[in-house]
Structures are given as structure tokens and as C-alpha cells.
Chains A and B, each alone.
Chain A
Amino acid sequence: MPATKGEPMSNSLTTPGIVAGRLHPEDYTRHFDDLYPDYAAHEAMVAADRCYFCHDAPCITACPTDIDIPLFIRQIQAGQPDAAGKTIFDQNILGGMCARVCPTETLCEGACVREAAEGKPVEIGRLQRYATDTLIARNAHPYTRAAPTGKRVAVVGAGPAGLACAHRLALHGHDVTVFDARTKPGGLNEYGIAAYKAAHGFAQAEVDWLLQIGGVTLRQGWALGRDGSLADLQADHDAVFLGIGLAGVNALGLADDTAPGARDAVEFIAELRQAPDLSTLPIGRHVVVIGGGMTAVDAAVQSRLLGAEHVTMVYRRGRDAMGASDHELSHAANEGVKIITHAMPVAIHANGSLREVEFAYTHPGETGLEPTGETFRLQADQLFKAIGQTLDGAPDALTLAGRKLAADAEGRTSLPGIWAGGDCTGDGEDLTVTAVAQGRDAAESIHAALMGAGA
């Protein structure tokens, strides 16, 4: 946490209100650097040596993209981390980012037999990062495009699902145009996760590397609905893949929840990720984050890292119901975030600007969560709302399943010629790795449809 060296600060941890420059300049660099630096070669060898090369390994089963984990670890052991990287990319072209953001404790590492045996799994995530970083650093794309098919596919959304889909389609020789509403490609990798998880511009470096496959045109600043319709895309393309994510955010439904100082966590995270100089980014002295998912954690931890003195994360249910993993929550606690569970916001007290947020303790009742009657107030200069994102801007013609786009196992939507994947579909945890799997599988389905009989 903040050190007290270097140049004098313009402000300090105790400056009231929402102000920039609470830290010394060098502290920003330190705080937002790589959370877990890459392995050195010897460390990787020692870590790889712990893998038992299990028969029909549980870690593979636990990976949404079915990476042959024992094989890639054995390739590291055998001194070919770049070959290990290829093994990973064969299944997951965004394996570099997944190595950084996957909740491995609930996926591969949670299934590792050494987790069961000793509580110390093989560090699969870090080994994956070592392998993928090694191959990406060579800056030689390991795949060659198939001969052009003459087919054109539109991919909407340059996030993990869209990029995985675009790469696999391009690999098969199709011409792909990726339409994306933001200035830069990457989706949540670029705009939606904590900076220390993708330090040193990794999200853009990964996209650049991925696009070396060729045959993919990026069209940034193009929003579905605003700049063109689904029908427009269908008119110009043989197939369309929608990886539009969840552009909407849930509201608290309280009076004054748009008071100055109250904002959506996703917006704060995006602003932070794009800030050229973090010392110019204002942050409150007292910050309250409402929510229990990864977005809430990323907002809370980064508030602390920007110099907020008191950061409290409040979730209406118990810890076991939180979307954030134990690992993430421990990290937040280590960084000094206070975590309060079983409490829901009932009032926002503002006086021109935000003053306090009032919460009621909850318990499970007959009609869901009910207030216990006991309330408390948290002082707050700044409030980040992280209570979930929603589908927004999806074409009306598509059938929904619950609150998301309906799609089958191959990603086919209710309309012929339209596929979808990633956070805008499904009912899962909205993981990056799941989005990659869905984008990849939809690309295979599109490829089969375009190249099949009668196509």
C-alpha cells in the first residue's frame, strides 16, 4: 500500500472528498503493475515438475476450453514453452488473457489432484501464462490461414467471444469483419478488468498478435442499432456472430442513486483502464462498493490502489453466494478492502454531493431477502454500483432465454444465419474463458454451415 517517499503529493490519503493525486507518482506504477509477474525459466521448470500427468486429467475436464493441460506442462518440462503455448492456443486463442483472469481456483487448479492432496495445486494459470507469453513474445503467429473461401462473416463485438470467433473463422479461410462500438478492440479485456491483471498493455498486444492470422478487418466505433442493423449485416455477409456482451447495468432503484459521486463500477473501471496518467484520476477518501462479483472486487481494490483511505464492499447475501472467487476476495481483503455481507442498500443520503449510504441487514425470508430491521450507515464520498450487467441493444427479432439471447450448444440463435456467444448468451458466470469457448465453437458451426452441402 501507499509508501511515503518521492515527490510531495498534491493531495493525501486523508484529503476530504473526491480528489486526484493522493499518492506519490511512483506508487501508481507500483500499485498497478503485474499482480503476479511471469515465471522465470527455472521457476517454471520447478512448478511444471509438480504436475503428475494424471490419466484423463481432471484439470482438462474443468477447463471450459478443454486445454490439454498435462501435455502443455510436459512441454514446459521438456524445455519447449513455445510448443506448450501452441497447445494452449489450439484450444483457446486468448489463452494469454485467460491465464491472467481465469478464476483457476474454481476451474483447473480447483480440480488438480494436488489441490485435493495438499491444498497446493500445480500453478496451472501461471504456467499457462509462461507458455503463452513465451510464444507471443516471439511475435511469430503459429497459425496459417486456409485458402480463401470467399465467404464473408460479420462479427459484432471485439471482446473475447468475438475475437475467438473471428480468429477461428479466419483460420478456416473466411473473410471476417469485426464491428465494435468502442475505440479499441478487446472488450472487457481492455475496458472491464483490473489494470494489474493485464499490465503493460497486454490486452492490445494480444489482439495485435491474434490478428496476425490475417483476413480479419476491425471496424471500431460501430454500434449495432446506431450505425447499422442486423439486416444490414446480413445483406453484406454470409453469416453473423453476435458477441455483444452486456452493455446495460442494473440500477439500485433508490432515490438519489445518481447523486454526484455515485456511478457504475464498470464505467469507473473503464475510465481507469484508459487513463493515460492515473495520478489525474479522482478517487474518494471514503468509497463504498455495492455488489459481490468480480466487477465489485476490481472496483474496490483499485479504489484502494488509487489511495482511497476507506473502501467497503457491501453484498446483500452471504460470502458463498458472491460471484467473486475466494482468491479474489482474499486479495481484496489483503489490499485493505472491508467486506460486509448480508446487507442491502436502502437509502442514499446526499447533500448536493454524496454523504452516506444506508444499509439494512438481511436474512433469507419467505419471499426472498428480507431486512432484519437493523440498519447502519457508511460514510461515502463515492459509491460504485456493481450489481450486475444486463443485455442492452440486442436486435428485437432474436428470441431471448431468460434475460439473455437464446443460443444452442453451437451458438445458433433463433434466426437462421445468426450465431451468438459470450456474456450476451447463456446462464453461467460470464467468464472470459467461457466466452472464448463459445466464440470458437460458434465459428466451427458457422464454418460447417457455410461449407456444408448446399452452402
Chain B
Amino acid sequence: MANLTSNFIGIKSPNPYWLASAPPTDKAYNVERAFKAGWGGVVWKTLGAEGPPVVNVNGPRYGAIWGADRRLLGLNNIELITDRPLEVNLREIKQVKRDWPDRAMVVSLMVPCDEESWKAILARVEETEADGVELNFGCPHGMSERGMGSAVGQVPEYIEMVTRWVKQHSRMPCIVKLTPNIADIRKPAEAAMRGGADAVSLINTINSITSVNLDTFSPEPMIDGKGAHGGYCGPAVKPIALNMVSEIARSPDTQGLPISGIGGVTTWRDAAEFLTLGAGNVQVCTAAMTYGFGIIKELTAGLSQYMDEKGFSSIDQLVGRAVPNVTDWQYLNLNYVAKAKINQDLCISCGRCFAACEDTSHQAISMSPDRKFEVIDEECVACNLCVNVCPVQDCITMEAMPKGAVDPRTGEPVRDYANWTMHPNNPMAKAAE
């Protein structure tokens, strides 16, 4: 049976699933329930500086989008960092870590952007014997208006500066949490690395308005008729997160920088995908907030079964396994030729492939009077839209043509690998030989 034990930048946990810094990790009561359920670790909900506690709105903090049967697809929130006194949080962190020494206890922090503030809070956190800190440079709402959270995360120089302070004033491992609300995720990651960060975690939430109430003309979630953008998370953001994780994992400038993957992890499969794209562990929030802590049983059992089936005995063997296959468009093989193929035994004749191809693509599917749908190889560019709109799994597949076979669309044989950098239409192309 696969060993799920995780060692992320020296922080050990029985499995690679941590609860992300968020409402589920706001106090001892929740965290203890999580540990009892089997979670590997937590990032305690973000602590602020000493002083009057943060206040939250007293109306809806969350908004959502759903599928037809109310499956929650995306969640947005406007909650701020912890609104409990610093003293209480620190006392509870210390107690929980003592009671659960085998679990990862990382503390998320967000204080004003001056060295003294950071120095002060770090000293307090160290006393709790927590395993590390995570710098919240990601929250896109509320705190960012006060020069914290994503306001720091959007300026690489600030990230580097604050990270440097943290490493200077603390011996604890330091994870820098990145905001996705930027143009190029590699820049803040590089800044964190320069500042001495032990790891980055991403993604934090994405600026969002979930919907508009068409009676009151208020954005949702709505507070007394008004709405402010929140941070978007949940299954809907996973593709964005996977890309950003892979960008950092494959960039030569951040090579080897450990990554904690966050963003829509809902099942073991999502977690495995993050790991293969270079995440050393994953953090989960929305799935737990939707279904409760009990999902950890599926998350761990599923990952374990997958690893057994694939012959992986430890998490490390999975981490980064897909990274070499992430490349730039210019290096994709332009001589790879595939054709859509419709399995007539599985086809239920709904005609969605036909409508999609005929109306919006390449007119490469024919329809007979008796509703038989067939691919016209002479027109098919293998765009995959028919596969994506077909309601029957594996009914339409993309079949690669063997080398040497003639593509009926172009009349050209399938040739050896060649990409855009070698293509004759590319004015910048280098000679193939």
C-alpha cells in the first residue's frame, strides 16, 4: 500500500492534504474536528497584528454558482482574516499543536507592510511551536484596500522585501501564498524565491462577482443593496490553478521551488493532478466547506489506490511527473494528425456534434436522414469540440494517424515531428537541418 506520508519543506504530515487558511481553520474546535477526521495538516486562518480585532460584515459572506441539481461549482467570499483576538488564536494554536504533534500546523499571517509589524507577530507565532508560517499575499478583498493581502502580492518588490524580513526574524519555514490576480504568476514566485521563501502556495482566490440580482440590480453576495467583489474558489477555478502551478514548476527561474497546490481540489483525482504538475502537497477549502471534513477519507483512500495501481510507493514519485510534458505552443508537433471517430454503437443520435461542427467549426460531420452522424475526414481538423459536447463518454474519440499515412484533408503524408519554430510559414523559423 502506498505511503501517503508527506514531507513538505521539512514539515511532516501523515498525508499531503492540508486545510487551507480559511474559515475551516479559524479555531481549535474546527481544527480538532479536522484532525480527528484525518486531515494531514492545517494552515490556521490568517492572523493580523495585535490590536482591535478585524470586523466582518453581518450579512452574506459567500456567494455561489451551482449546477442544475445545486451542485456547488464555484464559491466566492468577502470574509476578512480572523476576527478573533490574536491572544486567543495563539493560545489555541499552541494547544492544538501539542495535542496533535504528528499533524502539520502552519500559521497564516497578514500584518501591515512594515518590518516592525512582521517582526512582532513572528515572535509571537514562534512561541506556539507551530511548524511554519504562510504569508497571506493573496486575499483580494477588504484587506487589500488597506495595503495588505493581494495589494502586496501584486507587487513583486514588496513580496521580496517582506519575505526577506520574515526569514531574517524567524527560523520557521516560510511559505508565500500568491494571488492569481496578476498578469504573470512567475514574477511574484521569483520575488518570493529571491526573498528566501521556502515555498510558494497558490492560488488564492480570484476577484469575482458571482451573479447580479435582476430585481434589485445588486451584485451577489449583497449587503444592504450593495456588493463588493469577493474571492472566487472551488471546482470552477481548478484549471486556472493547475496552469499557474505548472508555470512555476517548469520555469527555469523558479526550478526546485516547492509548491503547495491550491484551487478547487475536490476529489483525490484533483489532488493527483496538482501533484503531477509540481505541487508537493495540496490545500483544500471549498470541498470541505461544501461537504464537511468527512471527504478526507475519499481523498486519502483514492490517492492511495491510484498510487498502488500505478506502482508509486511514495508521494515524491508522483510530484512533477507531468511537468516535462507541459510546454509552449510553439513546441507542439504540427505534424501530429488526428481525426475524430464516432463509435456508431455508442452513438445515441442526439446530433450535438453535428450542430457544434456545422454551426461553429469545420463542417466535418455529416448527418443522414435517419440521423446517422459520420466524420468527414477530408474536413476534420481534430479540434475536439465534438468530443467535448458529446453527452456519451468515449463515443467520439480522437484517433492519431500513423506516420506516413496520407491526411485526406491536406493530401500530405504524416511526417516526423516539426514545430512552429521550424515551420516555413514562420518568418523567424530556423532551418530544420
Contacts and interface: CB of A to CB of B under 8 A. Distances in A.
Interface of A: 42, 45-46, 48-49, 52-58, 77, 113-114, 116-117
A52 B68 contact: no
Contacts of B352: 52-55
Contacts of B349: 54, 58, 113, 116
Nearest to B70: A42
Nearest to A44: B68
B355 interface: yes
Contacts of A46: 68-69
B354 interface: yes
A58 B367 CA distance: 13
B392 interface: yes
B326 interface: no
B394 to A, nearest CB: 13
B68 A58 contact: no
The interface size bin for chain B is: 10 to 19
A116 B350 CA distance: 10
Nearest to B67: A49
A303 to B, nearest CB: 40
B351 A48 contact: no
B33 interface: no
B305 to A, nearest CB: 28
A113 B353 CA distance: 14
Nearest to B389: A52
B348 interface: yes
Contact of B68 (A53, A77, A114, A117): A77
A52 B391 contact: yes
Most chain B CB atoms below 10 A, which of A46, A49, A55, A56: A55
B370 to A, nearest CB: 11
B68 A55 contact: no
B69 A55 contact: no
B371 interface: yes
Contacts of A56: 351, 367, 371
Nearest to A79: B214
Nearest to A53: B352
Nearest to B66: A45
Contact of B392 (A42, A45, A48, A117): A117
A52 B391 CA distance: 8
Given A52-B391, A113-B349, A58 B371 contact: yes
B348 A55 contact: no
Contacts of B70: 42
Contact of A55 (B67, B351, B391, B392): B351
20 contacts: A45-B68, A46-B68, A48-B68, A49-B67, A52-B391, A53-B352, A54-B349, A54-B350, A55-B350, A55-B352, A55-B354, A55-B355, A56-B351, A56-B367, A58-B349, A58-B371, A77-B68, A113-B348, A114-B348, A117-B392
Contacts of A54: 349-352
A49 B69 contact: yes
B407 to A, nearest CB: 27
Nearest to B371: A58
A15 B252 CA distance: 92
For chain A, what secondary structure do more than half of its interface residues adopt (helix, strand, loop), or is it mixed?
A: helix
A116 B367 CA distance: 18
A63 to B, nearest CB: 16
A53 B352 CA distance: 8
Interface of B: 67-70, 348-352, 354-355, 367, 371, 391-392
Contacts of B367: 55-56
B374 to A, nearest CB: 14
Contacts of A117: 348, 392
Nearest to B354: A55
A56 B70 CA distance: 29
Nearest to A42: B70
A79 to B, nearest CB: 10
A117 B345 CA distance: 10
Contacts of B68: 45-46, 48-49, 77
Most chain B CB atoms below 10 A, which of A52, A56, A57: A52
B389 to A, nearest CB: 9
Most chain B CB atoms below 10 A, which of A48, A58, A77, A113: A113
A114 B391 CA distance: 10
Contacts of B350: 52, 54-55, 113
A56 to B, nearest CB: 6
Given A46-B68, A54-B350, A58-B371, 15 more contacts: A45-B68, A46-B69, A49-B69, A52-B350, A52-B391, A53-B352, A55-B350, A55-B351, A55-B354, A55-B355, A56-B367, A58-B349, A113-B349, A113-B350, A116-B349
User: What 9 A-B pairs have minimum CB-CB distances, sorted nearest first?
Assistant: A55-B351, A49-B68, A55-B355, A117-B348, A113-B348, A54-B350, A113-B350, A52-B350, A46-B69
B220 to A, nearest CB: 15
A84 to B, nearest CB: 15
Nearest to B395: A117
Nearest to A52: B350
Contacts of A58: 349, 371
B283 to A, nearest CB: 31
Nearest to B69: A46
B356 to A, nearest CB: 9
A53 B354 CA distance: 12
Contacts of A48: 68
B344 to A, nearest CB: 13
B263 to A, nearest CB: 26
B73 to A, nearest CB: 13
Contacts of A45: 68-69
Most chain B CB atoms below 10 A, which of A54, A56, A58, A116: A54
A83 to B, nearest CB: 15
A49 B348 CA distance: 17
A113 B347 CA distance: 9
A55 B360 CA distance: 13
Nearest to A77: B68
A58 B355 CA distance: 14
A288 to B, nearest CB: 43
Contacts of B351: 54-57
Nearest to B355: A55
A150 B355 CA distance: 46
A114 B350 CA distance: 9
A113 B391 CA distance: 11
A54 B356 CA distance: 11
A54 B70 CA distance: 24
Contacts of A42: 70
Contacts of A116: 348-349
A56 B373 CA distance: 13
Contacts of B355: 55
A39 to B, nearest CB: 13
A33 B98 CA distance: 64
Contacts of A77: 68
A55 B367 CA distance: 10
A54 B371 CA distance: 11
A72 to B, nearest CB: 16
A77 B68 CA distance: 8
Contacts of A114: 348
Most chain B CB atoms below 10 A, which of A45, A114, A117: A117
B149 to A, nearest CB: 36
